């Protein structure tokens, strides 16, 4: 069997395994994971696999087969900047539910940009913003054959973008950027990782990903998952870290149902209260 055919079979098995691990039954998400070559986005091998509890282990050689597991893989290991866990992203992408023809804004680009591009198809588009110049250049080259993806180098909390159906944030913030809420279309979904501690953050008890859905002036909110993730430049502040730290220590994030842009909600209604916004139980 030729190598590309063998890798296609391996990718199909991997896509089944990571979507099953995530409890994702959406065949489109599985097909998108089966379609994209992870090795195209991680630089030349051997690659560095994250060992939870300590450091990285290098793959024995540059055979891409080592990338089709549910492991986190180093992109820039010296900076602890990694390609996130496939089953986590399968769950988050399924929660975002990008549909053919939709516009996705992706903050923190790479492998998952290509998966989002598969899901929206050629009638949709992905605007992918990356803060790191080297990674933005790499993604521009890697995605050059995908014309419905536009890679932009810059700060995704500040760069202007057209209204989006999905905003998929892949870095840990302490608050949503104003533009992410302002530019979310009616019925749009924002996937927002909030982390109490700035990098290094290996503690999933003090980080969570929320799904925010816009309906008119209202924002429905729910916790999807715990998370440990690289920090979001321009998306963090000390007051937010303190507020999130207190909220995670108190517990109850799974009871959050709403995001409000106001300061006057009663204390007992709030899981997280931060200047200008809150996550609330009702």
Ligand X SMILES: C[S@@+](CC[C@H](N)C(=O)[O-])C[C@H]1O[C@@H](n2cnc3c(N)ncnc32)[C@H](O)[C@@H]1O
Of 218-237, which residues contact ligand X (CB under 6 A)?
Answer: 229-230, 232-235
Q: Which is nearer to ligand X, 34 or 232 (CB)?
A: 232
Which letter, b or e, does each residue of 40-72 get, where b requires 16 or more Cβ atoms within 10 Å of its Cβ?
ebbeebebbbbeeeeebeebeeeebebbbeebb
Q: Is position 130 an interface residue for ligand X (rule: CB under 6 A)?
A: yes
The SS3 call for residue 89 is: helix
Least distance between ligand X and beta carbon 18 (Å): 13
Q: By CB under 6 A, name the one of 64, 156, 207, 240 that touches ligand X.
A: 156
Strands 56-58 and 48-50: antiparallel
Q: By CB under 6 A, name the one of 30, 118, 132, 241 that touches ligand X.
A: 132
Q: Is position 259 an interface residue for ligand X (rule: CB under 6 A)?
A: no
The mark string for 56-85 relative to ligand X (x by CB under 6 A, - otherwise) is -------------------x-----xxxx-
Query: What is the distance between the alpha carbons of residues 43 and 20, in angstroms, rounded to a whole number?
Result: 27
Bridge partners (DSSP) listed for residue 168: 106, 191
Of 180-219, which residues contact ligand X (CB under 6 A)?
Answer: none
Q: Is position 157 an interface residue for ligand X (rule: CB under 6 A)?
A: yes
Q: Which is nearer to ligand X, 82 or 174 (CB)?
A: 82
Q: Which is nearer to ligand X, 209 or 247 (CB)?
A: 209
User: What DSSP character marks residue 67?
Assistant: G
DSSP string for residues in 154-170: S-TTTS----EEEEEE-
């Amino acid at each position: 069997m030729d190598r590309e055919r063998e890798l296609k079979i391996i990718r199909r098995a991997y896509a089944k395994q990571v979507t099953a691990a995530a409890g994702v039954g959406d065949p489109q998400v599985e097909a998108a994971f089966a379609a994209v070559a992870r090795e195209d986005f991680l630089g030349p091998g051997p690659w560095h696999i994250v060992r939870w509890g300590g450091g990285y282990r290098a793959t024995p050689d540059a055979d891409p087969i080592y990338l089709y597991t549910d492991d986190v893989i180093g992109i820039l290991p010296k900076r602890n900047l990694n390609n996130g866990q496939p089953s986590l992203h399968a769950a988050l992408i399924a929660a975002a539910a990008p549909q053919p023809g939709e516009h996705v804004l992706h903050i923190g680009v790479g492998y998952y940009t290509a998966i989002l591009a598969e899901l929206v198809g050629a009638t949709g588009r992905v605007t992918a913003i990356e803060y790191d110049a080297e990674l933005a250049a790499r993604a521009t080259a890697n995605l050059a054959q995908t014309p419905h993806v536009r890679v932009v180098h810059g700060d995704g909390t500040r760069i202007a973008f057209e209204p989006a159906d999905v905003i998929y944030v892949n870095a840990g913030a302490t608050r949503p950027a104003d533009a992410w809420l302002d530019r979310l279309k009616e019925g749009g979904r924002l996937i927002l990782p909030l982390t109490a501690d700035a990098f290094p953050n290996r503690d999933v008890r003090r980080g969570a990903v929320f799904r925010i859905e816009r309906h008119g002036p209202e924002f429905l909110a729910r916790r999807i998952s715990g998370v440990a993730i690289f920090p979001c430049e321009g998306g963090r502040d000390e007051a937010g870290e303190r507020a999130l730290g207190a909220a995670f220590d108190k517990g109850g994030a799974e009871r959050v149902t709403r995001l409000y842009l106001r300061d006057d909600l009663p204390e007992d209604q709030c899981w997280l209260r931060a200047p200008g916004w809150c996550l609330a139980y009702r």
